[in-house]
Structure 1
Amino acid sequence: MKKNKNKNLKRFWPKLWNLLKPSHKQIKTLFVSILFLELVVLTGPFLLKLIIDKIVNFKPEELKTILFFIFLMFISEQFNSFLHHLRDRIIFKLIFDIECYLPTMAQEKLMYLPLTYHEKENTGNKIMKIERGGNKILDLIMNIAWEVGPTFIQLIITLIVLLMVDLRFGLSFAFFAPLFVVLTYRVNKSLAPIRKQRHKDYEISSGQMVQSIININTVKSFTQEKREIKEFKTIRERISANGVKEFSKLLNFGLIRNLIIDMGRITILLLGIYLIVKGNITVGSLVFVITLSEKAYFSLYRLSRFYDRMEEGAEAVNRFTALIHEKSNIINKKNGYKPKKIKGKIEFQNVNFSYGQNNALALDNVSLKINEGCVTAFVGPSGGGKTTLARMIYRHYDPLGGIVLLDNKDLRDYDLFALRKFMSIVPQEVEIFNTSIRKNIAYADPGASRETIEAAARIANAEEFINKFPKKYDTEVGERGIKLSGGQRQRIGIARAILANPKILIFDEATSNLDSCSEKLIQEAMDKITHGRTVIIIAHRLSTIKKADKIIVLENGKIAETGSHCELAQNKGGLYAKLLKLQKVGDVV
């Protein structure tokens, strides 16, 4: 366990450095400027040493020299101020650059991660990883630039100068400084499990809040407001308790930390007085040593506080970097096949697939053919594998065994994005963006003309209800299309699919939750757009797939039977005929 913690700490900095790759040049420039600045800062205390020595052994003829040294101190401070100004400009540019590209990097990663990742990860957790991780990285960079970088360089320079003044000063400093660092490391190491749990709870609480807000209609309908509040409060109280426990330990350690620093300071002072009495150093040298050591010990204290913050932020940064380095299980082949057009013939050959739940197969040795330009329907009980088949065509999933072919070519040999350009899907729950109807339809083709968008809406039987809104196509539909009915959302989804002009069109239970009137309108829209396309319909309502060229009945991940509506209906012992008996036209199985 201890080895793993050490490995995690060692891996943290390389991970962070790799994450900040776009800013490597800026960071290197920054540290060169910090090194130069810290060397210039030494001139002030050194000139003060010379002035004090001249005053202690004052001679009238040395007055001009003293005044000259004072003038040099003034010039040194002004130059120092100018260098600070330049350093701060570099830091601010660096911070705003990082603030720009880190969230963009995370957004890009999320967009390209497969559907399987998004299905297993809570939305609130993902948002918390990005926001908290990004904020902690910025906090670390600011601390490194303004405190740690200067402090680390300052400590090295101080040790060298103290050794040059007198070896005993350097050895004294070299004894207490490592002792301080070791104790800081050990305390933070003991706090790691508490800190890790606290960050995990931050994500859980974020997920809890997002879920309760997204599902607010259900929460209110079942009067579960108090339950949601209680569950959220419980998580936040756990975070608070762990936070108090963690920082109480840090505060207790602060007393020991201060004791070590005070012992180091007193040792330097006593040693300096002893050396003056012995005549080994001058008063100015003692002032110089005390000035440097005071700054160094104070910097050491600041460094330890940064280490506390680094350990606090490391967990959030690790979660952020884990997201950025998340591996996709859907590999887009380099130089994949990019056809200009496709026929739309699909074939499954001995396909197996599992969601990893108790190793149960969602698809068990499935082989089937979907002819180009035909309407093929998947029906069967829930959990039979219908939607899994459709998602494999889209390459949201890849088979664990077997192969899926498009126009006699393995789907995995196609360029993923070129492949999906030939496809559109209308799901059971159409995802509507919080923008206008026009932009929602045009999502499939943002550059589409007004006429093309409205033509797609007409084909989808959506124009009539759209024109009833005062702003028509410019009507804002609210988050998740809350201002629209289920049937209206489905018709916008169909219009969106039409606008994409796909060769392969998938309807995934597109009418299962609609009233008869909405179903009729959507069925009419579906009939208008099937010509010349390979159409796959996943349905519970068997009334919607009577006209299909082929119906494939699935049960427990296997093909139970295949045929037309008439052929399957006549097979009285078949599953399709049984399902047909269980429903009337328009009823849900």
Structure 2
Amino acid sequence: MKEKEMKTGVLLKRFVPYYKKYTKVMIMDLFCASLTTICEMVLPLILRYVTNQGLKDVASLSVNTIVSMGLFYFALRIIDGIASFYMAYTGHVMGAAIETDMRQDAFSHLQKLSDNYFNNTKVGQIMSRITSDLFEVTEFSHHCPEEFFIAFLKTVVSFIILSRINLPLTLIIFCLIPVMGVSCIYFNLQVKRAFKQQRNHIGELNSRIEDSLLGNRVVRAFANEQIEIEKFTQDNMEFLNIKRKAYKYMAAFQNTIRMFDGLMYVVVIVAGGIFMIKGLIEPGDLVAYTLYVFTLLSTIRRIIEFAEQFQRGMTGIERFMELMDADVDIFDEEGATHLDEVKGSIEFKDVSFEYPDDHNAVLSHINLSIRPGEKVALVGPSGGGKTTLCNLLPRFYDPTEGNILLDGQDIKTVTLDSLRNAVGVVQQDVYLFSGTVFENIEYGHPGASKEAVYEAAKLAGAHEFIMGLKEGYETYVGERGVKLSGGQKQRVSIARVFLKNPPVLILDEATSALDNESEYLVSKSLDRLSEGRTTLTIAHRLTTIQNADRILVLSESRIVEEGSHEELLSKQGMYYQLYTSVRETEKEVELEK
């Protein structure tokens, strides 16, 4: 999907509020900028006076006068040095602080986005938006107001002084500036678009690298290293081509400015020389005039050089705003109440759901009541809606139609925090954070005592293997828990839920990816975890859910069968077919052994 390009004015309007916290720093920074400008603008006036006086009557110049002017200018340079230090240090710190605030806002906003956003956005793109894209903001947020303020001051002061020296020559010079401005705007827009492409492709490149590195075992297993290299080379060369395009426009931009730069000097030399011959301008005035034109052109060149940084900063801000504009579709409704003392009764009332991006119906008019403490199993073919139905309960998604009640309260009327604290999830694909075993279990209840963490691990059947690790609970598990086996990771995740101690539990195929021994150990842990809790279990291995109080068979977005294991077998419907098929498969496996 092509992203809409935001106008510079709109971006700046949305960016400016980030300066609010640093208003005093910004005012002081601009004050220091004005001091440095004054110091720079005084020198041509001193040289003008000395030159004119020297040509008219050199005897009128005394040593004391020259020394006094020298000391005065030296004092100005000291002031300039102090002001420049403040701008370089405090100004940059302010820029870094604004970058930090924006990154904090971006990360906080990401925490509010639903699964739908992450399903449709590459992690590499998200990483690029909140890291490298915002690196440019530090320089931009500091230099942007400073550079334009200095340019404005120098332009106005130069125009006033130059007009007093020779108005016709000044008007000729300043008539060239709008023409230069139009050329700058055109090339600036081209450079901005090129930098936007560049930033987008960095995100794609990051995604390619991340995908390849995270899947490195699969790559090696299929001996596809060369294929990955070729894919990366293609993306890498495309990135080079985008940068080549950006530099082409930037070179044309800078060359145009150099041409106007030279044209202005030609005007000063020719027109100024003619005016001096005709006695319309003094030699000292022409020297000062040339210095002020030099200062003016230096200012324009600084703005030109800043243009690349400006466009990089604007591109970073634009991509940041695109992230911040991502809709938060799961949020606390106005007046949402805190959910207390949850018993665990659940009711689905005419619930339908379809994913917003493809609009395919996943659930259709589901009506379901679950008693507190009841153990309900969900089975059926893949794509039947089992996981989706469970994901609606903690509001990972909201139903397209209908309502879901927890203890008689519509889950949309309670706070997300209290709702999700009441629901524990154990998934097939276990995610452990990079850190220690202790930290991963404690994640279920941040700030829990060591004793509570150890007890949770014991209940999950994890304490024994954890103590057998080299550093026990302080063992580093690696990224995504790669240093632990599948069964060990699953038991750590179960310990995490034990520590959370939720009244409602969702088990999403929690044992399907494990070997027989690990499955047995994890199943025992899950049985202990399910005691006294309302439990929804999604399972492909039907032998693991025979003792469920009730089994629901989902197919084609609806519940097609419901009952106990024995009741469903006696009906000889879809559950019977599924169960029989699984048993035959298990027998074939046993015979092969």
Decide: shared fold, TM above 0.5.
yes
Shift of 1:185: 1.3
Q: CA deviation at 1:327?
A: 1.9
The answer (yes or no) to whether the contact 1:424–1:502 under 8 Å persists in 2 is: yes
Q: CA deviation at 1:358?
A: 4.1
SS in 1 for 2:7: helix
Residue type of the partner of 2:445? D
The list of structure 1 runs, each at least 4 consecutive aligned residues, that deviate by more than 6 angstroms after superposition, is none
Q: Match for residue 32 of structure 2?
A: 33
**Any conservation in 2 of the 1:543–1:585 contact (CA below 8 Å)?**
no
- Structure 2 residue 426 is the aligned partner of structure 1 residue 426: yes
Q: Is the 8 A contact 1:148 1:306 kept in 2?
A: no
CA distance 1:74–1:470, shift in 2 (3 Å): closer
User: Structure 1 residue 370: deviation in Å?
Assistant: 1.7
User: Displacement of 1:53 after TM fit?
Assistant: 2.0
Letter in 1 for 2:393: I
Distance 2:308 2:177 in 1: 17
**Pairing 1:507–2:479 present:** no
C-alpha displacement at 1:80, in angstroms? 2.0
Farther-moved stretch of structure 1 (463-472 vs 489-498): 463-472
Alignment of 1:253-402 (within 5 A): 253-356=253-356, 358-402=358-402
Query: Do the aligned residues in 1 keep the contact of 2:92 with 2:139 (CA within 8 Å)?
Result: no
SS in 2 for 1:42: helix
Q: 1-side partners of 2:491 and 2:546: how far apart?
A: 21
Which residue is equivalent to 1:567? 567
Equivalenced residue count is 584
User: Residue in 2 aligned with 1:550?
Assistant: 550
Q: Which residue of 2 aligns with 1:207?
A: 207
Is the CA contact (8 Å cut-off) linking 1:181 and 1:304 kept in structure 2?
Answer: no
Instruction: Check whether the contact 1:422–1:504 (CA below 8 A) recurs between aligned residues.
Output: yes
Segment of structure 1 superposing worse, 536-545 or 69-78: 69-78
Aligned to 2:9: 10
> How far apart are the structure 1 equivalents of 2:245 and 2:259?
22
Q: Distance in 2 between matches of 1:160 and 1:586?
A: 93
Name the stretch that deviates more: 387-396 or 315-324.
315-324
1:250-274 superposed Cα distances (whole Å, 9 cap, x missing partner) = 3244333211111112212333333
TM-score, normalised via structure 1 length = 0.94
The change in CA–CA distance for 1:194 and 1:65 in structure 2 (over 3 A counts) is closer
3-state SS in 1 of match to 2:16: helix
Deviations 1:222-264 (A, max 9, x none): 1111111111110110110121133123324433321111111
Any stretches of 5+ residues in structure 1 without a counterpart? Answer: none
Residue 135 of structure 2 aligns with an amino acid whose one-letter code is: N
Equivalent position amino acid for 1:460 in 2? A
The Cα of 1:384 is off from its aligned counterpart by 0.7
State the 1:417 CA deviation. 0.8
Aligned mates of 1:25, 1:376 — CA distance in 2: 61
Q: How far apart, in 2, do the equivalents of 1:315 and 1:224 lie? A: 36
Q: Secondary structure at the match of 1:582?
A: helix
Structure-2 residue corresponding to 1:44: 43
Contact map agreement 1:541 1:586 (CA 8 A) in 2? no
| Paired AA for residue 351 in structure 1 | V
Matched-pair contact (CA < 8 Å) for 1:160–1:170: no
Question: Does the aligned pair in 2 maintain the 1:23–1:94 contact within 8 Å?
Answer: yes
The residue aligned with 1:581 is 580
**Structure 1 segment 404-419 matched on structure 2, within 5 A:** 404-419=404-419
Check conservation: 1:53, 1:283, Cα contact below 8 A.
Answer: yes
Q: Cα RMSD over matched residues?
A: 2.2
Distance, in Å, in 2 between the alignment partners of 1:416 and 1:165 is 70
* Alpha-carbon contact 2:136-2:309 (below 8 Å) kept: no
Counterpart code for 1:491? R
Q: Report the 3-state secondary structure (helix = DSSP H, G, I; strand = E; otherwise coil) of the residue aligned with 1:57.
A: helix
Match of 1:246 in 2: 246
8 A contact 1:516–1:586 mirrored in 2: no
* Whole-Å separation in 2 of the counterparts to 1:357 and 1:339: 31
Give 1:220 shift: 1.0
Listed one character per residue, the Cα deviations across residues 288-336 of structure 1 (whole Å, up to 9, x for unaligned) are: 2211110111221221232233234433331122113322111222442
Which residue is 2:111 aligned to?
111
Letter of the structure 2 residue corresponding to residue 9 of structure 1: T
Which residue is equivalent to 2:483? 483
CA distance in 2, matches of 1:220, 1:144: 48
Aligned to 1:23: 22
- Letter matched to residue 263 of structure 1: L
Give the distance between the partners of 1:508 and 1:310, measured in 2 at CA.
49
> In 1, Cα distance between the equivalents of 2:102 and 2:544?
47
Deviation at 1:526, TM superposition (A): 1.4
> 5+ residue gaps in structure 2?
none
Aligned mates of 2:191, 2:46 — CA distance in 1: 45
Other-structure match for 1:188: 188
Residue type of the partner of 1:311? Q
Pairing of 1:532-551 with structure 2 (within 5 A)? 532-551=532-551
Shift of 1:94: 0.9
> Which whole-Å CA distance do the structure 2 matches of 1:585 and 1:496 have between them?
36
